[in-house]
Structure 1
Amino acid sequence: MDKHFLLLLPVVCCIVAVTPLRCITCHLRTQTDRCRRGFGVCVAEKHETCMILKIFQDNILQLSYMVCQRFCRELTYKLNDRTYVHTCCNYNYCNFKNLKYFFS
Structure 2
Amino acid sequence: MDKHFLLVFSLFCCIAVVTPLKCITCHLHMGSDRCRRGFGVCLAQKSETCMLLNIYKKYELQLSYMVCQKFCRDLMFNHNNLTYIHHCCKSDYCNMNH
* TM bucket normalised to smaller: 0.7 to 0.9
Equivalence map 1:79-98=2 (5 Å) = 79-98=79-98
TM-score when normalising by structure 2: 0.85
- Listed as ranges, the gaps of 5+ residues in structure 1 are 1-5, 99-104
Unaligned runs of 5+ in 2: none
In structure 2, the residue matched to 1:21 is 21
**Displacement of 1:31:** 1.4
**C-alpha distance in structure 2 between counterparts of 1:77 and 1:94, whole Å:** 22
Q: Which amino acid aligns with 1:32?
A: S
Aligned length: 94
The one-character-per-residue Cα deviations of 1:10-31 (angstroms, maximum 9, x if unpaired) are 3245313431011000001111
User: What is the SS of the residue equivalent to 1:83?
Assistant: strand
Q: How does 1:1-104 map to 2 (within 5 A)?
A: 9-10=8-9, 11-98=11-98
Give 1 or 2: higher helix fraction. Answer: 1
Aligned-pair RMSD on alpha carbons? Answer: 1.9
Counterparts in 2 of 1:27 and 1:70: CA distance versus 1, 3 Å: same
AA paired with 1:96?
M
- Point out 4+ residue stretches in structure 1 off by more than 6 angstroms: none
